[in-house]
Amino acid sequence: MADPILPNFERVVFERLRASEEFTSYENAFRLATGLPLRFMRMDEEWCLLEHSENQSPFCEIINKCKTACSECINTNKRLLEMVEVEGPMTCGCFSGLCATAVPVRLGSTTLGFLKTGQVFRKQPKKEDFERVVSKLIEDGFDPAKRDLLHQAYFQTQTIDPKRYESMILLLETFADQLSRHADNLVIILDGSEPEAIAKARRLIHAKLDEPISLAELAAAAGLSESHFCRTFKEVTKLTVTDYTTRARIAAARKELLRPAARVSDIAFRVGFQSLSQFNRSFAKLVGCSPTKFRETELNKAKLKA
């Protein structure tokens, strides 16, 4: 598996995505509608229960004070994220019977982060379930004097019917797709603090996606020398001019591919690629699949929502 710590460029996109209005609005709506915690996290972050005390399981809040239980929770979540990165959305259970779910958010073939929720039962726990759990916790150092408090919290934890829970996770998967598309836009849309020289160059790139643009032409539009322009452009966008232009063309192609009648080869040339093979390679590298597969998947999603 690749290093889970995101490279600098992907980390910048992740942080902008997590701070975006799109995420914060959905995060609040999801919590209010479901009563479940929701966090957008990287692989190298820990799931800290205390961050979401307003709607977390009271049971988890209590056992979080037990170091061994907390360590087991962290390890369970780490394994979950490792599997999700490879296999896609997944739900797993911890020793106490509570379930957790993670859904990946991707930028092309790179996993930017995970939408994480859970801390619920999918079936009503029984007395014998609690006895098994509390026995293990006491073995691991939990204070027996807090048994009654733990019992109350255990049976106060939310139980959600499996089908209803699956519907909640489907909402997360749909939102993860939206965040992935927004990540693509964040790559090519900056926050307004960029120098006007770079803004002029970016506008020229987008205005002439279907044309080859020379470095000299872009530098002239920016009013900078070629060397100064290249250095400044990368400092601001975190991308070379070539990489930025390719991403802009792929973003335009993704929109065009949602039109069923448009031929893939026509789209490739329309957004500025010189050959179909070059387009296919660039698209697969950034999106994680071929243009044809992307179109098929997106159109099928649209049919299911109709």
Q: Is the pLDDT of residue 77 over 70?
A: yes
Could you read off the pLDDT of 210-219 as tens digits, one per residue? 998 999 999 9
Give the residue-averaged pLDDT of 52-71. Answer: 62
CATH superfamily of 192-305: Homeodomain-like (1.10.10.60)
Q: For residue 281, what pLDDT band results from cuts at 50, 70 and 90? A: very high
Could you read off the pLDDT of 167-188 as tens digits, one per residue? 999 989 999 988 888 887 776 6
The pLDDT value given to residue 231: 92
Give the residue-averaged pLDDT of 107-121. Answer: 84
Could you read off the pLDDT of 143-168 as tens digits, one per residue? 888 889 889 988 888 889 999 999 99
Most confident among 76-80, 95-99, 107-111 (mean pLDDT)? 95-99
The pLDDT value given to residue 192: 54
Q: Is the pLDDT of residue 76 over 80?
A: no
- Phi and psi dihedrals of 195, rounded to 5? -60, 145
C-alpha closest to that of 166 among 113, 104, 116, 101: 101
Could you read off the pLDDT of 257-272 as tens digits, one per residue? 988 899 999 999 999 9
Q: Helices in the chain by DSSP H: which ranges? A: 8-18, 21-34, 58-63, 67-87, 127-139, 147-156, 162-188, 196-207, 215-222, 226-237, 241-256, 264-270, 276-287, 291-305
Distance CA 184, CA 111 (A): 13
The pLDDT value given to residue 271: 93
Task: Tokens for 266, please give them.
Answer: 């026509």
C-alpha closest to that of 213 among 174, 244, 167: 244
The pLDDT value given to residue 78: 76
Q: For residue 50, what pLDDT band results from cuts at 50, 70 and 90? A: very low
pTM (2 d.p.): 0.64
Distance CA 159, CA 118 (A): 11
Task: Tokens for 142, please give them.
Answer: 């939990």
- DSSP element (H, E) containing 90: strand 90-93
Find the length of the chain: 306
The pLDDT value given to residue 114: 92
Task: Tokens for 191, please give them.
Answer: 């926050």
C-alpha closest to that of 68 among 95, 44, 50: 95
CB–CB of 250/282 below 8 Å? yes
CA dihedral 168, 170, 175, 181 (to 10 degrees): 170
β-bridge mates for residue 40, sequence order: 115
Q: What is the mean pLDDT of the chain?
A: 83
Enumerate the domain spans of the chain: 8-186, 192-305
- Compare 221 and 79 and report the one with higher pLDDT: 221
- If you search the block for the tokens 């942080």, which residue do you land on? 15
